[in-house]
Each structure stands twice: as structure tokens, then as C-alpha cells.
Amino acid sequence: MRHHEPVGCFPTGRHYPGIAHLLRVVASGIAEEFAPDHPVSGLRMVSIDTETTGRDPALDRVVEIACITWDGTQIAKRKSWLVNPERPIPKEAFDVHGIGDDEVKDKPTFREIIGEVLAEMEGAVPLAYNADYDRQVLHAELARVDAPVSQKPAAIRRNVEWIDPLVWARELQKFEKSKALGEVSQRLGIVIEQAHRAEHDAEAALRVFLAFLADARIPKTYGAFLQEQRRLARIFEEERRIWRSRMPEVKV
């Protein structure tokens, strides 16, 4: 009599070298407050946006930051802070967000509001449009705070991946020329009351993401969603690298 090998992904008693490592890779980036199979639509999320004195996250400073909290069913809270950057705001930055020196000169510094900001992020998965930028800005400001912080929400943990609607805009609206938040919002019928102000941009980013969730191409569980977001981000970065390599060299 011929004996058949057991079937299935993980047959009882069988050992598959490397499987545990692969599972850890799949689950990487997840905020420990939520299980990998948690529905993405029901996650508690905090949409974060920053306005700054310039475009370099390592050197420029925050002049406004906002947190919009989604409790899994609705927007539960909106909170924003104007921040004294402890330096003049360049005209180029003012022309973008309209926040000037007079508006922030009597406002608290980032160091003075850090406790409030982190409290708003507690217990939620971080989200931002072009998330890498806002994440770098937040971490740079935290690095300037000498004292250790008592709260450590997912947004400031190095191993937690942020949800980024821009990654999905590049995929779901790939044939559209602009993937800027304003244009993506307009195509989805989402109104931004005051573009380039932190609270309004943060809410728009959240609403864009919620609209995208209805698309069948978006995985419905948290772990699978992050895995696919990473895959799409890698594809885009590789395409951008190839595009840059083909650009003609400009001689000065």
C-alpha cells in the first residue's frame, strides 16, 4: 500500500526551516496594539500632518502639526497646534502654508507640546500622505527633545510602518498625471477647506484613504495591507530610480 504525504500548509509534526522567519517578515511593521488579521477598515488610526519652515526634515522645524483620530467608525477628534519654530519662517514656506512669524511668535515650542501631541497619537495606527516625510519631521523634532518621553505611541516607534494613501494613489489612480493630495481629493469628491494647513490636509488624507478602502484591490486585513503597501512602494522606488538613471546629465 502506498503511503501519501500529508498535505496542507503546516502539516502536524512537519518541520519547515525558515518558515518562522518568513512569517515575521510578513508581519513586520505592525503596531502591536492590533493583530495582523484585524480589519483595516476598523483600525483606530491617527492621521498626522505637519507644516514646516522648509523641505528638509532634518533641518527645518514644525510650525503646525495636526492629529485627526479615526476610531474605526468615524472621526472622533480633531486637534492641531501652532508651534514656535524658534527661527524665522522663510518666505518660500510662508507662500505655501500662509503661517508667518507673527502668528507663531507667542505659541509654545515643540518641546512644550510634545506630551499633548503624543497623547493624541496613543493607541492608533499612524497615517499620513507621503508618510515618510511627516515621519522624518516628527522623529527629527523628537530627537531635539533631550528628556525621554513617557508616551511611546506607534507613530514614534521605529519598527511601525505608517499607512500612506499616496502609495495607493499611485496604484489606484496610476493613469492620472498628478498624485498631489489636492488633485487626488478632487477626483474623489473630497473638499479640502484650506489646503496646506495641517488639520485640513490631515483630514483630507484620512478621507482619501477611507475612500480607497472600497477598492477591491486593497487587502482587507492589517497585515496583508502593510505587506502590499510595501510591495507597491518598492515598485515605485525602482521605477523612479530607473527614470532618474535615464535622465540626461546637466552640464554646468
Residue 232 maps to which CATH number?
3.30.420.10
Q: Is 247 part of any domain? A: no
- How many other β-carbons are positioned within 10 Å of the β-carbon of residue 184? 25
Residue 7's pLDDT is what? 40
pLDDT at residue 188 tops 90: yes
**What DSSP letter does each residue of 45-73 carry, written as one string?**
EEEEEEEESSS-TTT--EEEEEEEEE-SS
Question: Does some domain include residue 151?
Answer: yes
Work out the percent of the chain whose per-residue pLDDT is above 70.
88
Domain holding 216, by residue range, is 42-220+228-238
187-205 mean pLDDT: 97
Report the pLDDT averaged over residues 198-204: 98
Average pLDDT over residues 128-143: 97
Q: CA-CA distance, 200 to 203, in Å (whole number)?
A: 5
The pLDDT, as a whole number, for residue 17 is 44
Can you tell me the mean pLDDT for 172-192? Answer: 97
Q: Reply yes or no on whether the pLDDT at 1 is more than 80.
A: no
CB burial string 85-102: b at 16+ within 10 A, e below: beeebeeebbeebebeee
Interatomic CA distance for residues 227 and 29, integer angstroms: 9
The domain total for the chain is 1
Q: Is 14 a member of any domain?
A: no
For the cut 90, the answer to whether the pLDDT of residue 250 exceeds it is no
**What confidence score (pLDDT) does residue 190 get?**
98
The verdict on residue 34 lying in a domain is no
Residue 25 placed within a domain: no
Rounded distance, CA 124 to CA 31, Å? 8
Say if 174 falls within a structural domain.
yes
Question: Residue 251: its pLDDT value, please?
Answer: 55
Report the pLDDT averaged over residues 121-142.
97
- Mean of pLDDT values over 115-127: 97
**Residue with the larger pLDDT of the pair 85 and 240:** 85
Residue 2, pLDDT above cutoff 50: no
- 20, part of any domain: no
The pLDDT confidence band at residue 4, using thresholds 50, 70 and 90, is very low
Whether 140 maps to a domain, the answer reads yes
Name residue 217's amino acid: R
Q: Residues 18-74: pLDDT tens digits?
A: 444 444 445 689 999 999 999 999 999 999 999 999 999 999 999 999 999 999 999
Contact 203, 75 (CB under 8 A): yes
- Per residue in 144-167, pLDDT tens? 987 788 889 999 999 999 999 999
**Distance in angstroms (rounded) separating the CA atoms of residues 64 and 129:** 16
pLDDT of 126 > 50? The answer is: yes
